[in-house]
Amino acid sequence: MGVSFSLRFISNLTIDALKQIDTRPDSLFRMLISIFVVRIANLWSAALYLGSKLLDCMKPKLGRTIGIQEAPIVKLIADSNVPSDVVDLGQGVPFYGPPREAILAATEMLGKESGFKYSEDAGIGSLRDAIARKLASENNVEADSSKNIMVTAGANQAFVNAILCITKPGDHVLTISPYYFNHIMAIELAGCRPAIVEADRDYQPVVTRISKKMTKRVKAVVLVSPNNPTGAVYPKDVIKEIGALCSKNGIYLITDETYEHFVYDDAQHVSALELDRSIKNTISLFSFSKSYGMPGYRIGYAVFPKDIYHEMLKVQDTLAICAPSSLQVAAEAAIKLGATYPRRFIPRIETARKMFIEGLSRLEMAEMPITKGSYYFLLKLKTKKNDWMIAKRLIEEHGVITIPGRAFGTKYPALRVAYANVDPSLAEEGISRLVRGLKEVL
């Protein structure tokens, strides 16, 4: 503002001076004055311009976050005029909360020294022991609780720990598209490059495509099964083949198994750990957020080879030191209930799932592969319109939240719908609004 005012002032001063000279008899003296005034004005303008550029150079510059996408769900909601009666088919959380045992355990620990002080970096020993027992009974793998397991502030932090531990800036990490956007953001934050491999039309990974992408710069392959955002459940033989490919190339297989308890019909979740029981090159990530209804507690865990334990510990101590101590105690109380806790809620989620299949699978303006895991469907829209703007209009004009496919790296317009956080009546209303909205928007 000061620069523009100064330029206007000098410009006006120069013009006034020249007008005065023009209205008087010519003289060499007055001509020299006019030239001097113009030169001074030009020099002053140049000095102000250079000064402003110098100030710009002195401003602090942003770093590695430049070019990384914004958190898409947060951005979509912030950019939209959200109605008060909106039906949320966007947020990927279950309708239920933590078990009572977990709540009581956390409450009791809040005032105790062991609840408000740091735990061991890798997590409370008794929780890691409980996780080891769960891995043995549910995932058919024997893990050493003191060397193979680390409790983290959610599965997202477990992924960041792993990526920072096994890569260097410039390395590649292979991911399947449609992908989970937080994985891509973490890979890029680490200074690495995502190597994207397209899934098939049913959202299954294609081993030959993965093999063709293998280079010396690839340090890991990432699989998410049951999948976010597609709901696909990867078959045992496919996971086994990809694991063998990773072992052959001397790289890690990272599997995100956050939705391990959410499978339907004849689908079965197979942990990659079951196929690498000695845990040589597999890093598997798990979460309490979905299965035990405690996303805000931020407790997850990683299972990994013993030989990277101390490297993982370096990242853990830097990022979080430890997960919240009292909430680790809550997680321990929850995991002792086993898979029976999430399974008691599956029938209601299955009811909503069937309603979505009936209401959306025969849409003329979209194709919806019927997947059998997590609690998402990814609709492929038959349009060339921008899916971000479609999602925005669905929120503002039709009162229903979905997440655009561009957030998950799709090369085609798409929408992710989540069905675990709505009861049957709300599911019916959400489906009705979505169908009506798509017919109008497309």
Per-residue pLDDT tens over the stretch 110-122: 999 999 999 999 9
If pLDDT is split at 50, 70 and 90, which confidence band does 7 have?
Answer: very low
In a domain, 111, yes or no: yes
**Quick one: which of 376, 370, 361, 369 has its CA closest to 419?**
376
- Whether 147 and 276 share a structural domain: yes
Which pLDDT does position 132 carry in this prediction? 98
Which pLDDT does position 32 carry in this prediction? 64
Alpha carbons 174 and 22: distance in angstroms, whole number: 74
Give how many domains the chain has, as a whole number: 3
The domain that contains 90 carries what CATH number? 3.90.1150.10
Contact by Cβ (8 Å): 421, 88: yes
pLDDT at 397 over 50: yes
Which of the listed residues 340, 370, 396 is the one where a domain comes to its end?
340
- Whether 302 and 322 share a structural domain: yes
- Whether 14 and 123 share a structural domain: no
Identify which has the larger pLDDT, 52 or 382: 382
Alpha carbons 142 and 93: distance in angstroms, whole number: 30
- Whether 116 and 34 share a structural domain: no
Angle at 42 between CA 37 and CA 48, to 5 degrees: 125
Q: Where are the alpha helices (DSSP H) in 207-302?
A: 207-213, 236-248
- Whether 305 and 415 share a structural domain: no
Q: What is the mean pLDDT of residues 146-153?
A: 98
Share of the chain above pLDDT 90, in %: 85
Which tens digit of pLDDT belongs to each residue from 215-236?
A: 999 999 999 999 999 999 999 9
Rounded to the nearest 10 degrees, what angle do helices 325-335 and 100-110 cross at?
150
**Domain encompassing residue 39:** 2-58
Q: Quickly tell me which residue has 């599965």 as its tokens.
A: 155
Q: What is the mean pLDDT of residues 83-102?
A: 97
- Whether 78 and 54 share a structural domain: no
* Three-state SS letters, 39-70: HHHHHHHHHHHHHHHHHHHHCCCCCCCCCCCC
Which tens digit of pLDDT belongs to each residue from 274-286?
A: 999 999 999 999 9
pLDDT at 3 over 80: no
Which pLDDT does position 18 carry in this prediction? 46
In a domain, 42, yes or no: yes
Q: Quickly tell me which residue has 């845990």 as its tokens.
A: 279
Instruction: Enter the DSSP assignment of 226.
Output: S
- Whether 87 and 108 share a structural domain: no
Name the average pLDDT for the chain: 92
Contact by Cβ (8 Å): 408, 177: yes
- Whether 286 and 400 share a structural domain: no
In a domain, 239, yes or no: yes
pLDDT at 238 over 90: yes
If pLDDT is split at 50, 70 and 90, which confidence band does 266 have?
Answer: very high
Which tens digit of pLDDT belongs to each residue from 28-60?
A: 566 666 677 777 877 777 777 777 777 767 778
Looking at 181-291, which runs of residues are DSSP E strands? 193-198, 218-224, 252-256, 282-287
In a domain, 427, yes or no: yes
In a domain, 31, yes or no: yes
- Whether 303 and 414 share a structural domain: no
Strands 252-256 and 218-224: parallel
In a domain, 63, yes or no: no
Which pLDDT does position 291 carry in this prediction? 98
- Whether 424 and 318 share a structural domain: no
The domain that contains 104 carries what CATH number? 3.40.640.10
How close are the terminal C-alpha atoms of the chain, in Å?
46
Which pLDDT does position 378 carry in this prediction? 98
Instruction: Enter the pTM of the model.
Output: 0.87
Which of the listed residues 296, 322, 340 is the one where a domain comes to its end?
340
Contact by Cβ (8 Å): 396, 437: no
In a domain, 270, yes or no: yes
Amino acid at 364: E
Share of the chain above pLDDT 70, in %: 91
Identify which has the larger pLDDT, 58 or 195: 195
Which tokens belong to 403? 């997440």
Q: What is the mean pLDDT of residues 288-309?
A: 98
Which of the listed residues 284, 305, 340 is the one where a domain comes to its end?
340
- Whether 324 and 365 share a structural domain: no
Which tens digit of pLDDT belongs to each residue from 312-349?
A: 999 999 999 999 999 999 999 999 999 999 999 999 99
Which of 53-62, 97-106, 150-159 is predicted least confidently?
A: 53-62
pLDDT at 208 over 80: yes
Alpha carbons 219 and 194: distance in angstroms, whole number: 11
- Whether 76 and 109 share a structural domain: no
Contacts 24+ apart (CB under 8 A), 426-429: 426/87, 427/351, 427/352, 427/355, 427/356, 428/355, 428/359, 429/87
Residue 88 parent element (H or E): strand 87-88
Q: What is the mean pLDDT of residues 381-392?
A: 97
If pLDDT is split at 50, 70 and 90, which confidence band does 21 have?
Answer: very low
In a domain, 67, yes or no: no
